[in-house]
Amino acid sequence: MTQAEHYEQFLALHHQPEAFVMPNPWDGLSALIFKKAGFAALATSSAALAATLGRRDGRHAVSVAEHRAHAKLLIEVGGLPLNGDFEDGYGTTPDDVATTVKAAIETGLAGIGIEDTSGDPANPIRDFDEAVSRVAAAAKAGRRRIVLTGRTDNFIQGRNDLDDTIRRLTAFAEVGADVLYAPYPPDMAAVKAIVKAVAPKPVNLVVGTMSETPTVAELSAAGVKRISVGVSLYAHVAASLQDAATALANGDIATATSGMPSSESNSLIDQVARS
């Protein structure tokens, strides 16, 4: 598939009647596992990528070149439309963001997310006008060539201001974002308010801090079109690895070495070689 074909496929998924789930692989094998499970699209996770490199997410610790190489691997191995979690667009100016979007298209990505983050722990969210101008530049650079997600990280950064979150998302929609996203909303009431505010444009949701985790069907009924899991699946694997490490340190080799047989992982990899 060409980048243009992946873009068309990815865009169409957002306009289906029901929500679709977009998991976030972090290496070739995880991409193959998700593909075998039947998912129609995948996404990078900046947090998972940073962790694989032993770095912190959200601090400009991963370069755009590293993210592009990571994305290229997932596209080549997974063979599915890929959305890129490209943080704030990797640059200090809107023109830098536009350059990043063009590079993402050249890499083969079907979608890209641009956040209003700054990489500065002391002031993690960019001012409103600056954030909007960066999404506008991304939209102009990628119009009809890549699915652009405009994202505000208010909730992640402890700014539980639903009104400002909606203000940012609606502004991102007005300047050309195709999908809107505010990670970790506090409750379903906030989710429904966001969906209503940006309609008819689709909303992406990652759930992690609600007291109850809604099902895919419940999120779909609320109007959410795309569900991602961010770093959660990588964290799930890391927790299992930590348990195995503890077992091994305590002398329990059997528990520590149980898992997917190499014959199964090799079979998945061989399927790619034959395709």
Residue-wise pLDDT tens digits, 35-75: 999 999 999 999 999 999 999 999 999 999 999 999 999 99
- Domain assignment present for residue 267? The answer is no
Q: Enter the tokens of residue 196.
A: 């209503």
Task: Give the model's pLDDT for residue 275.
Answer: 65
Question: Would you place residue 209 in the very low, low, confident or very high pLDDT band (cuts 50, 70, 90)?
Answer: confident
- Domain assignment present for residue 269? The answer is no
- Domain assignment present for residue 82? The answer is yes
pLDDT tens across 140-187, in order?
999 999 999 999 999 999 999 999 999 999 999 999 999 999 999 999
Helices 128-142 and 94-107: crossing angle in degrees, nearest 10, is 40
Task: Give the model's pLDDT for residue 125.
Answer: 98
- Domain assignment present for residue 272? The answer is no
- Domain assignment present for residue 141? The answer is yes
Domain of residue 123: give its range.
Answer: 3-231
- Between CA 91 and CA 77, with CA 143 as vertex, the angle to 5 degrees is 75
Confidence check: pLDDT of 273 > 70: no
Domain count, the chain: 1
- Domain assignment present for residue 270? The answer is no
Half-sphere exposure in the Cβ direction for 263 (13 Å, CA)? 0
Distance CA 270, CA 232 (A): 27
Task: Give the model's pLDDT for residue 207.
Answer: 79
User: What is the CATH classification number for the domain harbouring 56?
Assistant: 3.20.20.60
* Beta strand spans in 94-137 (E): 111-115
Backbone angles phi, psi at 232, to 5 degrees: -60, -45
The whole-model pTM stands at 0.95
Task: Give the model's pLDDT for residue 122.
Answer: 94
* CB contact set of 225 (below 8 Å; sequence gap of 6+): 14, 15, 16, 19, 20, 179, 202, 203, 204
- Domain assignment present for residue 246? The answer is no
- Domain assignment present for residue 253? The answer is no
Q: Enter the tokens of residue 257.
A: 């070495």
Could you tell me which of 225, 258, 231 has the C-alpha nearest to residue 21?
225
Task: Give the model's pLDDT for residue 211.
Answer: 75
> Residues 145, 7: contact at Cβ < 8 Å?
yes
pLDDT tens across 94-124, in order?
999 999 999 999 999 999 999 999 999 999 9
Could you tell me which of 189, 145, 152 has the C-alpha nearest to residue 169?
152
